[in-house]
Structure 1
Amino acid sequence: HERLTQRFVDRRTSVLMRRLRENAMLEAEINAAGDVLVEGQHVGSLQGFRFTPDPGAAGEAAKTLNAAALKALAGEFEARATRVFDAVDDAFALANDGVIRWLGEPLAKITAGAGILSPTCRILADEQLTGAALDKVKQRLDLWLGQHVKKLLGPLEVLEKGEGLEGTTRGVAFQIAEELGVLDRTRVAKEIKAFSQEDRGALRKLGVRFGAYHIYLPLLLKPAPRSLAALLWALHHGGLDHVKGLDEVPHLAASGRTSFTADAEIPKGFYRAAGFRVCGERVVRVDILERLADLIRPAIAYRPGASAGEPPPGAADAEGFVVTVAMTSLTGCSGEAFSSILKSLNYVPAQRPGPAITAPLIPAAATEP
């Protein structure tokens, strides 16, 4: 077998060496799998603008194959650069590993820019991609990346610029943008307390919702915007190679999970950028946490003998509330897991006698017919 392989390598090498000595134009053929054939001889593979020599060759044979490939691929690099430059936006995609791919082939990796919403990209290419061809690829990918961020996180760019906003309102808008659309309310509690209705209205017009725990943009909680936001957060907090959760957290978010078990090795800030909050042993989607607060708030506020109307679900006969199925269904967990969520929100579990209120203790206010 080794003798046959050597004979094949020698024959392949001799064919290519003869063509190189003749200084002839070498014809390169690249199949759908990326295999590169020069003058009918397999010399390696090409992905994007990176050539990998055939690992089966060594010594002089490897040098010959590489020289033949580089000479034959010079024209292919130029042609590919033109095709990339002319490609439609749908031909490109950004994956959770931070790599921009063109028709599935890696072309660049995103890097941190001047601002969190303005990433740049580093071209993944051999030295043979130079001059005008390199400029074409870089220009097209920079344009696509900017449009991609605008398409998925455009409302944040509006908040960052703050046009039409003044003073404290503009400052809060900027913080929302810097936190990629999910801002812990405690960070701006003082400012929000001083807001007028006009201030709140101005931010609501820009898609902002004021929740019990977060100031956020509901429309940006979809998987695609949050996946991009998580990437951008990672770029500015250690880099893509040093932040755990880049693949699994967006995957869990895309699966529709409203909560899942927290991983202590994943930064809380990364979870927040992905649209979640660490609550005890669970990680809960921020809009689900706000809906949970909307269920708990009226149950706590109800006072038997003082509140009119039907008691809300979960109302108790004293201070506090009773956990309902609706509450646990929201988060997709119960028992100790759900209890850890409530504890993280500063609720203290207590065993008290008596059932939840099931009927009003004072009549509802009469209504006109």
Structure 2
Amino acid sequence: MRTSRVDLAPKRCPHLRARRLASTFSHVVSHSDTDSRVRAVLGPTNTGKTHLAIERLCGHSSGAIGFPLRLLAREVYDKVRKLKGDASVALITGEERVEPPGARYLLCTVEAMPRDGGGKAFVALDEAQLSADPERGHIFTDRLLHARGREETMLLGAATLEPMVRALVPRAQIEDRPRFSTLRHAGSSKLSRLPPRSALVAFSVEHVYAMAEMLRRFRGGAAVVMGGLSPETRNRQVELFQSGEVDYIVATDAIGMGLNLDVTHVAFASLSKFDGRRQRRLYPAEMAQIAGRAGRHHQDGTFGTLTGGKIFGSAEFTEEEVYAIEEHRFAPLTQLYWREAQPRFDSLATLIADLEAKPDVEQLLPAPEAIDLAVLKRLAEGDALGSDVTTPGMVRRLWEACQLPDFRQQGPDMHARFVARLWQDLRQGHLGADYVAARIAELDRTQGDIDTLQGRIAAVRSWAYICQRPDWVLARDEMAARARAAEARLSDALHQRLTERFVNRRTAVLMKTMGKDAGLLRVALEEDGRVLVEGEHIGHLEGFRFVVDAEASNEDRKLMLAAAERHLPELLAEKARRLVASEFGDLRIEAGKVLRGQHTVATIEPGKSPARPRLVLGRELAALAPAQRARLTEALDRWFENALAPLAPLRKLEEAALDPSAGSEVRALLLTLADRAGTVPREGAGLAVIAKEKRPLLRRLGVTIGSLDVFVPALLKPGPRALLRAIGADRRPLRPGMEAVIEGAKNIPAGYRRAGSQAIRVDMAEKLFRAAHEQRGRGSRSFVLDPALATSMGLTPDSFVRLMRDAGFRPGHTRPQPQGAFGPPAPVLWTWRAPRKDQAPRREGGPPPREGSAFAALAGLLR
């Protein structure tokens, strides 16, 4: 084990630390109580809060406003500069510092904002509700508690912040501002039917680019706004939209933080995002923050979701979310995140202890470990620091280095390596100008694709931040100017590259981000067999073979060719339907036959496998001429192949079972699954002889190995089950709706297992088992199971217990309440013992292989 060079044992007196925290918070409260100049202006978006703050700023002799984003700080900086002149206004962010000597008005990001207000006459904090954000909330909380103006202080935020303001800033004057316009839910719509002046919001750069490309194809173009663009490029994109040159703008969720645009509708491409820790659904307040961009001043707005294609999925707002957004009613904040903003630098141990200290105020929560603290701990535990980080000055300098933002989004481990390399130079003094200039020059190259340019922009932002530090870089002003210029050039190159692709290479981004999903393009089959994509002739069908038009081979038509290929099965099925309809009319599959009305057109007989039956034309068609019979047979086979599309998962199993590389044990299981229509009891699956390294192959084939069953979830849907029954591949009872739980324990339909007096679908049973194993995996021998999920499915308590017993779970006895005690009874404690489920296969459940079939012979040999 490696021994740390830094002693992390906290060297402090607990009583002294408690007194220091109590003194800090008593100072905050007493300061707030005696300060009657604090105004909290709260309300939803489009209430004019930021505009009011700008007016009040300009009405004072000096002032400062802290914003959550540098784009927003830059936008307000440009407005105030026009009113007060360049010499009076400063812009201070982590990566940019425009600070004329004697500047009286500061527009900053919250991190760069003076902690106590800098002695300005007016101080404002924008989007103060972000104090509840796990990543940056502690910074907003600190400014909310301490940043004060000499004459006036203004806190701007959502109405959910009101309880916290009353508790932490008791003498603040709270003003509620109503929204100027109404906001209404407009439902979901396809991309091609979005109204003009719409904003589309996505939560990944790839989706932003893909939607911008599709909007260019459908509606002539779209502007793009992202946090990674330079302010100049962002302004150029916004001007495209504001001037009316394009009617659509595609943005990340950064659009929700104060960018004022003439938007009438906001469409969400998704309702979930990755927040740095996990993929989660947006909170209603976050949805409202973004949706509120629709409708400016007294113009009403609407919001909704996008549907269609692989990008958008099928996310929809719930009724509760719609009500909350339209009525601006959200759960109030009950606690804010806090971290010691003035830690002691006596030693690394003291610094870390102060940063992890808990607040003594009930309205404040200790902030989750941010990346700067995570990096500090990694460096302190490693060998990168040496033995010289012992003085308060060196500890402070190291902490400042650890606060370098992770612009590259690489995570704590990779970012800690970058900071460690930076520290090797900072510990000796300054970074040399030649060294910094060389690093910036390496990044200042505009060649490469979109991803390359984005990576360089993120890297140069790190150097722009480093160059802003007054004691890190020699020739700081010159190096900072070089970094800003490099970022601007890279952002402009990115903008140009996107424009070129949207205009001249309309397939490149879409094909990369959508995986050749051209589902939104219009493809049509003419009566004469011609295939049209977006109204352009792209080829024709010769019989059932697609022939590409000779003039459609240039690069500009790649997307249309891909769309035609993607839609080829649909086109062939359409021709088959027309051909069959001209001879037969409407067809259906029932009881092993293909019927037209009540007349049999063909019978369905067993083929090479259960999912590949064959058709035999009815006797009444035998009198047809050979040529006409062949034409109708070809059309009917094509129609039948399309009708069997729901059985694609079963065909995958059958094809894999014929692959010798899968191994005899896996092939035997696949054969059994295929012959039993996708569901086999675990005790009959022979899992005991299947090596663990073979199980990923089963997962790739869509096979789930459950606690009691091995099954294919895709074959438990009503469509495949009904089709298997109709073609005669599965003669077990059918439940047309495939409900989660049904009544009755006899004649159990295919895809279900017995649960007491009921039956439950095997995938729903597995969901209950997995939830139970999660509870069991928390370390205790006895555990509590919540029956709420089973109840919501429709299982009775007795059926639930019987089902869980089959999987090895045993309920304990209910402990009676002591005499005279009140309240609910103590929960039942469960235990678990592995059931005997992986023994040699026993012949029970499901139909046996058909005698004489290839599957029966091969399964017998393998066994």
Which range, TM-score by smaller chain?
0.5 to 0.7
Taking structure 1 as reference, are residues 82 and 158 closer, same or farther at Cα in structure 2, changes over 3 Å only?
closer
Q: Is the 8 A contact 2:603 2:616 kept in 1?
A: yes
Aligned match of 2:34:
none
- 1:196 counterpart letter in structure 2: K
| 2:757 matches 1:281 | yes
**Which amino acid in structure 2 is aligned with residue 262 of structure 1?**
G
> How far off is 1:295 after superposition?
1.9
Listed as ranges, the matches of 1:188-199 within 5 Å are 188-191=685-688, 194-197=690-693, 199=694
1:58-137 equivalences in 2 (<5 Å) = 83-84=579-580, 92-95=587-590, 97-101=591-595, 107-124=601-618, 126=620, 129-132=623-626, 133-137=628-632
Contact 2:601–2:618, Cα closer than 8 Å, also in 1:
yes
In structure 1, the partner of 2:814 is: 352
Q: CA deviation at 1:224?
A: 1.0
Q: Secondary structure at the match of 2:607?
A: coil
Residue aligning to 2:703: 208
Q: TM-score, normalised by structure 2?
A: 0.25
Runs (5+) with no aligned partner, structure 1: 1-80, 238-242, 307-314, 359-369
CA 126–103 in structure 1, closer or farther in 2 if over 3 Å, else same: closer
Aligned pairs for 1:298-337 within 5 A: 298-302=774-778, 304=780, 316=783, 321-322=784-785, 324-329=787-792, 331-337=793-799
Give, in angstroms, the shift of residue 219 of structure 1.
Answer: 2.8
Larger radius of gyration: 2
Distance 1:344 1:87, change over 3 A: farther
Superposition TM-score, scaled by structure 1 size: 0.53
* 8 Å CA contact 2:718, 2:737 repeated in 1: no
Structure 2 residue 258 is matched with structure 1 residue 258: no
Task: Give the Å deviation of 1:352.
Answer: 2.5
Q: Retained in 2: the 8 A contact 1:281–1:337? A: yes
Distance 2:609 2:803 in 1: 34
CA RMSD of aligned residues (A): 3.8
Contact 1:279 1:345 in 2 (8 A): no
Q: 1:157 aligns with which of 644, 647, 651?
A: 651
| 1:225–1:235 distance in 2 versus 1, CA, 3 Å | closer
Alpha-carbon contact 2:679-2:709 (below 8 Å) kept? yes
Contact 1:92-1:100 at 8 Å conserved across structures: yes
Contact 1:281–1:340 (CA under 8 A) maintained in structure 2: no
Pairwise mapping of residues 11-50 of structure 1 onto structure 2 (< 5 A)?
none
Q: Give the gaps of 5 or more residues in structure 2.
A: 1-576, 817-825, 830-863
Q: 1:146 and 1:353, CA in 2 relative to 1: closer, same or farther beyond 3 A? A: same
| Count of matched residue positions in the alignment of Structure 1 and Structure 2 | 240
Alignment of 1:145 onto 2:145: no
Q: Are 2:341 and 1:341 aligned?
A: no
- Conserved in 1, the CA contact under 8 Å of 2:740 and 2:764? yes
Identity over the aligned pairs, expressed in percent?
20
What CA deviation, in whole Å up to 9, does each residue of 1:79-106 have, x standing for no partner? Answer: xx99428789x954434x3442458975
Contact kept? 2:724, 2:730, Cα under 8 Å: no
Structure 1 236/221 Cα, relative in aligned 2: closer, same or farther at 3 Å? closer
| Deviation at residue 261 of structure 1 after TM alignment | 1.6
SS of equivalent to 1:277: strand
Instruction: Report if aligned partners of 1:112, 1:119 keep a CA contact under 8 Å in 2.
Output: yes
Query: Secondary structure at 1:113's aligned position in 2?
Result: strand
1:181 equivalent in alignment to 2:678: yes
In the superposition, relative to structure 1, how do residues 157 and 83 fare at CA in structure 2: closer, same or farther (>3 Å)?
closer
Does 1:293 pair with 2:769?
Answer: yes
Alpha-carbon deviations, 1:55-91, whole Å to 9, x = none? xxxxxxxxxxxxxxxxxxxxxxxxxx99428789x95
1:280–1:344: 8 Å Cα contact kept in structure 2? no
Residues 672 and 680, structure 2, Cα contact 8 Å, conserved in 1: yes
Instruction: Report deviation, 1:187.
Output: 1.6
The partner residue of 1:166 within 659, 663, 667 is 663
Relative contact order (C-alpha < 8 Å, sep 6+): which is higher?
Answer: 1
Runs (4+) of structure 1 exceeding 6 A deviation are 85-88
Change (3 A) 1:336 1:124: farther
Counterpart residue number, 2:562:
none
1:263, 1:111 → 2: CA distance? 32
Aligned-partner Cα distance in 2 for 1:356–1:339: 14
Q: Give the residue type in structure 2 aligned to 1:228.
A: L
Change (3 A) 1:127 1:295: closer
Mapped contact 2:707–2:807 kept (Cα < 8 A): no
C-alpha contact (below 8 Å) 1:112/1:120 kept by paired residues:
yes
Describe the shift of the 1:345–1:157 C-alpha distance in structure 2 as closer, same or farther (beyond 3 A).
Answer: same
1:280–1:343 Cα contact (<8 Å) kept: no
**CA–CA separation in structure 1 for the residues paired with 2:688 and 2:726:** 29
